[in-house]
Each structure stands twice: as C-alpha cells, then as structure tokens.
Chains A and B, each alone.
Chain A
Amino acid sequence: MDRIDARIRAVRQADSAQTLLAATAVLATSDHGDSISGEAIACLVEVLGFNNPGAAAAAVNGLIRLGPMAVEPILESLDPRNYGARAWAVRALAGIGDGRGLDLLEEALGSDIGPSVRLAAARGLGQLRLDTLGEPLRLAVQTRCLQALVAGCSDGEWVVRYAVAVGLEGIGLADFNSEHLRPASRQALLGLSQPDGEAVPVVRLRAALALRRLDGQPSA
C-alpha cells in the first residue's frame, strides 16, 4: 500500500513529460494486491487530461487492468471541453468493456465532434463484455451497439469507418444469438467492403477481412 502511495506521489510530482510518462507507466503496471486504492484510480484518470499521449496511453492500460472498478471514476471525470481527455476516457471504457459505458459510447460515436473520440467509441461498441447479463438484456444491448455501428458506416472520417468495421466484426463474432446480429453486421460490412459504398481502400480491406473472419466462424 505504501509503495502504491509513493508511486501516486511520483506521478503527481513529475516535472517533465518524460518523468510523467515513466511514473505513470510504473503506477499503471503496479500489482495492487487485494486492496485497490481509489487514489490510484483517481490519479490515472487525472493523467488522461494532461495532454501527454505516452502517459495517457499508459494510464489507459492501467485503468483497463483495474477493470470495472475504474468505470465510475472515469464516467465522473468526463470533461466536455477537453477532447483529448475524452478520447482517452472513451478508449479506457472501450477496453474495460463494461455495459455501464454503453450510453457514453453510443452518444460519442453518434455525435462527438472529435474523430478520435468517435473512433474509440466504435471500437468499444464491438467489444462490450456482456456475459454476466441475462439473454434478453444482452440481446437488447447488442442490438443498440449494432444500430450505432451501422449508423457509423456513414461517418465522414475514414478512420472512424475503419473502427466501425472492427466493431461490426466484434458484434458479428460474438458467440451468442448470432442469428439475430450476424446478418445485419454482415450486410453493413458488405457495404464498407465495396468501392461504391466506401471510397477508402484501407477501410474496404478491413471490412473484407472482417467478412472472411465471420464466414470462417460457424454460427453458434
């Protein structure tokens, strides 16, 4: 515990980009044992807003390692004026894959002005971990994810559409209720894989790869 406190102090007292990155990486990979410090989570969440990409990436990894405990602190920290921090927060929530992030991910993909935020949201919508939910709720949540991703196929930024293809693959590959979701996700991917539906080659190639993966995977 003392060791964690010292590591939190090291992050807060860092006086250069390099020392912040190093201290964040150490804190993010710490073994918290049985008692995860709320202070450690708060500290990693703060780093998301520091405009230091290396440190923020390390903090995201640390938050994803901490898992569902980090979800509420991340949701509470969201600053609508700081797009960089929002993108990292959405990325952390996408990586944790907790259903509590659904509203945020859905809203972010549909209407956030920052492409990096929409991108992270699309990625996250394809990989929510819903195995603890009962079947009807799970299907309802996944249907919302799918609808948001289908709408994302017409995003103006290629990199967001690329992430949408990855998200659609994730939904289509989910091993439950595939007969509900797989046809719709295949259809959306088909649109992204063809020149008349998608102008950017790398997006078409990624959608085609997703389709091959869906076709190689037998329906559950």
Chain B
Amino acid sequence: MATSNSLSGTVQAMAGTIDPDAGISAAGEPITEAEALQRLRQSEDHSQQYYAAWWLGRHRSRHPEALPLLLATLRQRRPRDPGAGVEENAIARNAARALGKLGDASAIPELLAALDDGDDGLREAAARSLGELQATEAVAVLLRRLASGPAGAGAPRLDSPRLQEPCEAMLEALGAIGIAEPGVITLIEAFTAHDRPLIRSAACRALLQLSGEARWADPLVQLLDHPQLQVRRAALMDLGAVGWRPALEPICRTLVENSLKLFALRGLVEQGEHHDAEIAIESVLNAMDSLL
C-alpha cells in the first residue's frame, strides 16, 4: 500500500524539478505495471518509454521483465551528438535512475559503464543509482572521474552552467557507498572548498556519512542560513540523508517549506541511530508533529 517509501527517492524527485529532461515527461496518468512494461517494450513513442522507465522505478517494480527491459533501454543511448535528437539519451537517463530504485545488484556493471559515458546527465543518474545500490565497485571509477579536483572536475563548463563532472551526485554517491578509505576522504575534502555552496554541501554530507565527525556538520548547519532558498534546501536534505540529529533545532528554524523539513526529519529518525543517542526519537517526532 505504501508506494513512496524511499528517502533518497524523494531527494531525487526534488532534483527532478530542475531536471533538464523534465520537459518531455508524459502526463502522469495512473497506469498498471503491465502497461508500463508494454510502453517500455515498444520503441516508437519515446515519451511513453520515458514515462514507463520512470514509473517502474517509482513503483520499485519486481516484475522479472523490468530489469532486462530497463537495461535494454539504458543500452539504447547514442554517442553524444549535439545536433541530433537526444531522446534515447533522456530515456536512458530515466532507465539509469530506475535501476537504482529496483535494488538489484545485477544492474551494477552497466551502470558502471554509464559512469564513463559522454553524456554528463547520464553520468549523474548512474552515479546516484550506484550510490543507492551501495556499489563498492563504483568507488574506483568515481575517484578517477573526480581526481582532478575542484579546479578540474569541478570547473564550470563553457557551454552550460553545469560543471565538467556531475560533482554533486558523484560526491553523494561516495558518501552513500560508505568506503571510508583515506584516499576517498582526502579527495572529497578538496571539494569542501568549492566555489558553489551546493558542491560544498554534497562534500560535507559525504564526509559526515563516512567519518561521523561533527566538524563536517557545522558547514551544513551554517548553509541552513544561506540567503538562497535552493542552498538551504540542499543543506537540509543533506543533513536529513545523514540523519544528523544534533541539527534538529537549526532544521526546525530554517526558512524552508515544512514538507521538505518533514522529509529531512524522517531521515533524522530513520538514519540517526548511529550518530547521537542524546536526541531521542520522540523529540524528533514531536518536532515533526509541529510541522504538520
């Protein structure tokens, strides 16, 4: 009965509001699983495939055909060609996102290959899904892609406001995968000095997840006072993803929609056990009640 049971899915749904693919999404009318599979199987109507790939991820389909169909859709991508239609790539990105939500590790090799695709949007989707799948195999590739640091991988592109690499997604994936080796920590630390607050936020989130050290929470708590709403939202969701209960008070105070605060506080309840037993679950639940 519960269909929306993933915190990270929520964060990604939020990311979807600034998703460049959002424009070609088909209308969100209710469909059945059989209908979604059928729409993904055909290849004439791209918007139907795009919606079907999203649907199977959103509903965490367990149908035996879902995984092979999504993998086939991921393979459907083409080399990047700015002049040509890129709809196959948009569908491939949605397939990559859905593969993270199915929770089946057999998708990992193809997602790993997508981390080296020429389309940075696909690399971003693949990184997030590999993080969701906690794919330790992905750490080496993520480190390689980020190795040039804030001045290389983190440099702005000339043709768009995006960075050379989808740093935010890649840093978050490293945090979610959870390998706290010195090489990983050192690389992520370099990004805590990035010009863009969203990148700093993602780096601190990953370091907080990997080390549990409070010093990485402080910059996130400070970003809750940032003048830009988008930055406050990101810091809020990052603290929630880590489950950092000491941030309960600042989270309650920050100027962000209550709906997002509730998602973050859910994270404090569900992910927060290992960080701080001082703040009891009941305090967080009381704070959630007052946001309803």
Contact = CB atoms under 8 A, between A and B. Distances in A.
Interface stretch (B37-45, B142-150, B178-186, B281-289): B281-289
Contacts of B5: 158, 199-200
B2 A200 contact: yes
B289 A199 contact: no
B108 interface: no
Given A199-B2, A201-B270, A206 B285 contact: yes
Contacts of A120: 292
Given A119-B292, A205-B281, A206-B285, A157 B4 contact: yes
B3 interface: yes
A7 interface: no
A161 B285 contact: no
B141 to A, nearest CB: 32
Given A53-B255, A120-B292, A166-B292, A205 B2 contact: no
Interface in A168-220: 197-203, 205-206, 209
Contacts of B3: 156
A199 B1 contact: yes
A43 interface: no
B2 A161 contact: yes
A163 B259 CA distance: 12
Nearest to B288: A162
Contacts of A205: 269, 281, 285
A206 B292 CA distance: 13
Contacts of B285: 202, 205-206, 209
A156 B258 CA distance: 19
B292 A209 contact: no
B65 interface: no
Contacts of A198: 1-2
A204 B102 CA distance: 23
Contact of A209 (B257, B262, B270, B282): B282
Interface in B252-270: 255-259, 262-263, 266, 269-270
B259 A158 contact: no
B interface majority secondary structure: helix
A21 B5 CA distance: 34
A159 interface: yes
Residues of A in contact with B, size category: 20 to 34
A159 B2 contact: no
Given A119-B292, A120-B292, A166-B289, A202 B4 contact: no
A173 to B, nearest CB: 13
A123 interface: yes
B270 A159 contact: no
Contacts of A159: 259, 262-263, 266
Contacts of B257: 53
Nearest to A200: B5
Given A161-B2, A209-B282, A202 B270 contact: yes
A24 interface: no
B292 A202 contact: no
Contacts of B263: 159
A154 to B, nearest CB: 5
Interface in B160-174: none
Contacts of B262: 159, 162
Given A120-B292, A201-B270, A154 B259 contact: no
A72 B282 CA distance: 36
A135 B279 CA distance: 42
A202 B269 contact: yes
A54 interface: yes
A147 B258 CA distance: 26
A142 interface: no
Given A200-B4, A202-B270, 9 more contacts: A53-B256, A53-B257, A57-B258, A116-B259, A156-B1, A200-B5, A202-B285, A205-B281, A206-B285
Interface of B: 1-5, 255-259, 262-263, 266, 269-270, 281-282, 285, 288-289, 292
19 contacts: A53-B258, A57-B258, A120-B292, A122-B292, A123-B292, A156-B1, A156-B2, A156-B3, A158-B4, A159-B259, A166-B292, A198-B2, A199-B2, A199-B5, A200-B2, A200-B5, A200-B266, A201-B269, A206-B285
